[in-house]
Chain A
Amino acid sequence: MLSVPCPWCGPRDETEFSYGGQAHVAHPAEPDALSDHEWSDYLFVRDNPRGPFAERWCHSAGCRRWFNAVRDTVTHSFLAVYRIGDPVPEIS
């Protein structure tokens, strides 16, 4: 089981969290202006990298707050956690 480092509560068991998929996917500012292809991209296509991935978690059975994390999808280790709205931290 993953140990998820909630920025407010510290490391807690994965079972306390829900997963929110890729972070930083903004709703299109002008949906009407999108082509079908761009709309499809927004609806269905997400990054799926082998390696570091910026994603959302919610500590749903804890403080109930959303946050972002950069996690390596091969090692499962959390490289950074940061607040919603903050930019992706540089990972060295």
Chain B
Amino acid sequence: MTAAPDGAPQEHPSWLWRNPDPKPSYDVVIIGAGGHGLATAYYLAAEHGITNVAVVERGWLAGGNMARNTTIIRSNYLWDASAGIYEHSLKLWEGLAEALDYDILFSQRGVLNLAHTLQDVREGIRRVNANRLNGIDAEWLDPQQVADVCPIVDISPDTRYPVLGATYQPRGGIAKHDHVAWAFARAADAMGVDLVQNCEVTGIDVDRGRVAGLRTSRGPITAGKVALCAAGHSSVLAGMAGLRLPIQSHPLQALVSELLEPVHPCVVMSNAVHVYVSQAHKGELVMGAGVDAYISYAQRGSVHTIERQMSAALELFPIFARAHVLRTWAGIVDVSPDASPILGLTPVEHLYINCGWGTGGFKATPGAGSVYAHTIASDAPHPLNAPFSLERFTTGALVDEHGAAAVAH
């Protein structure tokens, strides 16, 4: 289907891209049409002129974590390697609506990461200093300044986890995840990329150490290069090529309230009490929880996790006491041992990997896509993703972001 019928809304997503059958062969096949897969396809075509590309997706386009995340975007991670890749991504976000000619509702409303203990305070101040050395906007706020930025946060000292301060990144914010996916999809499709839905990869063929092609629910596809972008299913796919990954798949849950008048001006995250909250453009409060403890591929989690998250939200925002939960859901996130992604080459030639973003990869969508496309096109990592190799778990050069990523991102 290429054009909307007369009278139909022009921008309906089903008319933003073709829905082609897979061809027997491509230069590059990307597995997974989430945000990362679509962004990778876009940058392969736009920046490297590689357009004989398919993105194969077992379900529908952007129905995985891309449709399920709480859309928080920021770049205030601790280590230089992380600052490099996340800030590269944030800079791309700042020009993305224009580059893709699509309104992605990117709103730089500022992100607060609250500190509730002396340890949080020390860690937060250290991170602000590290961010500044890396040219990232970061400020340390005292409790009164937190209330100035977000008046509905309870900063009284007699709460169970009093707010002792916060890191603040004014350029952080949120975007509309569906629009981001559709914008990348439309642009990639227009340059000739095939977005193939309902096409599950069931096998990866390796011939003398080099990737040869894929088996899929819609027939075999030969491929010069194969790029994994399967988030929570990365271990399953890597296993098809004989690789074991340092990844564990967990449910991560979120919820929204019914639509409310604008009450919450920014994004608030708290690692200690495990909640992160913003208010979407339409008016619903969007809140995320921590991961459920067990390994799962079920896209659902346990209700006590939601309960804990809501009690944390009420502690911070007493004003939410009368709000109602509209719905809850879960995605399957790919958690790595150091809370940093794995993005680069694999021991199988021409098989590339992008995973381990866990609870925080939405913010990296354009940044990861751009450096992954570079990695695929040149068969070598971009300097920004070189530190995030799979080998780091053997060399020991971990990029430990548990402090900055913490519960959630």
Contact = CB atoms under 8 A, between A and B. Distances in A.
Contacts of A8: none
Kindly name the residue among B235, B294, B304 whose own CB sees the greatest number of chain A CB atoms within 10 A.
Answer: B294
Nearest to A1: B302
A14 B233 CA distance: 25
Contacts of A33: none
Contacts of A75: 298
A50 interface: yes
Interface residues of B, number: 22
Contacts of B394: 36-37, 40
B296 A48 contact: no
Contacts of B3: none
B393 A73 contact: no
B370 interface: no
A44 B304 contact: no
Interface residues of A, number: 26
A53 B248 CA distance: 12
Nearest to B296: A73
Contact of A76 (B244, B298, B304): B298
A74 interface: yes
B293 A19 contact: yes
B285 to A, nearest CB: 24
B337 A44 contact: yes
A1 B296 CA distance: 13
Given A36-B394, A36-B395, A48 B248 contact: yes
Contact of B295 (A14, A43, A45, A55): A55
Interface in A59-81: 71, 73-76
Chain B interface main SS type:
loop
A49 B235 CA distance: 8
Interface string B295-332: 11110001110000000000000000000000000000
Contact of B246 (A15, A36, A44, A74): A44
A55 B295 CA distance: 9
B302 A48 contact: no
A12 interface: no
B247 interface: yes
B68 to A, nearest CB: 17
B302 to A, nearest CB: 4
B249 interface: yes
Given A2-B302, A14-B304, A37-B394, A76 B296 contact: yes
Nearest to A17: B293
Contacts of B147: none
Contacts of A76: 296, 298
A21 B247 CA distance: 12
B241 interface: no
B298 A45 contact: no
A73 B304 contact: no
Given A1-B303, A14-B304, A19 B244 contact: no
Given A14-B302, A36-B395, A48-B247, A74 B297 contact: yes
Contacts of B303: 1
A79 to B, nearest CB: 14
B395 A48 contact: no
A53 B304 contact: no
Contacts of B248: 21, 46, 48
Interface of A: 1-2, 14-15, 18-19, 21, 36-37, 40-41, 43-50, 53, 55, 71, 73-76
26 contacts: A2-B294, A2-B302, A14-B302, A21-B248, A36-B395, A40-B246, A40-B394, A41-B244, A43-B393, A44-B246, A44-B393, A47-B244, A48-B235, A48-B236, A48-B247, A48-B248, A50-B233, A50-B249, A50-B297, A53-B295, A73-B295, A73-B297, A74-B296, A74-B297, A75-B298, A76-B298
Given A44-B337, A53-B295, 5 more contacts: A1-B302, A19-B293, A45-B393, A48-B247, A73-B295
Cβ-closest 3 pairs across A and B? A48-B235, A44-B246, A19-B293
